[in-house]
Amino acid sequence: MASTELTKAERETKAQIKIAHYILKETLGVGTFGKVKVGLHEMTGYKVAVKILNRQKIKTLDVVGKIRREIQNLSLFRHPHIIKLYQVISTPSDIFMIMEYVSGGELFDYIVKHGRLKTPEARRFFQQIISGRYSWYTVVSKVIE
């Protein structure tokens, strides 16, 4: 007797959401304004992170200006230690930020998983953070002037 229930994988396949040329896959994280999903370019298979911001939540929490600045600032940067913003897609209900996908998760989660870092590894992370932060500061201070 054949089962009429769909497996989780079958349900996800049937309910694929596509934004522009990207097929949305699993959720990487959930935040105050929305969530981040993996996106795959339908022709190349290139993996990206898609930050989905709900317009209603943004308005309710009065952070429209903050989101606008985040998009403007990220669009200015090309630095190896700052996540790249490739494209912004706007719909009546959501804003989709197509961004560089970085595997491995967040630094905090890495530290929790691996425990105290050895000095060379901690130094490498610190140098990357300072490099990205300095670049960010340099560009933003020029924009403000």
| Binding site residue list for ATP | 51
Half-sphere exposure of 69 (CA within 13 A, CB side): 8
What is the phi/psi pair of residue 42, to 5°? Answer: -65, -25
Q: How many CB atoms lie within 10 A of CB 56?
A: 10
Residues belonging to the binding site are: 51
Secondary structure, 3-state, 75-139: HHCCCCCCCCEEEEEECCCEEEEEEECCCCCCHHHHHHHHCCCCHHHHHHHHHHHHHHHHHHHHH
Residue with structure tokens 């595997």? 103
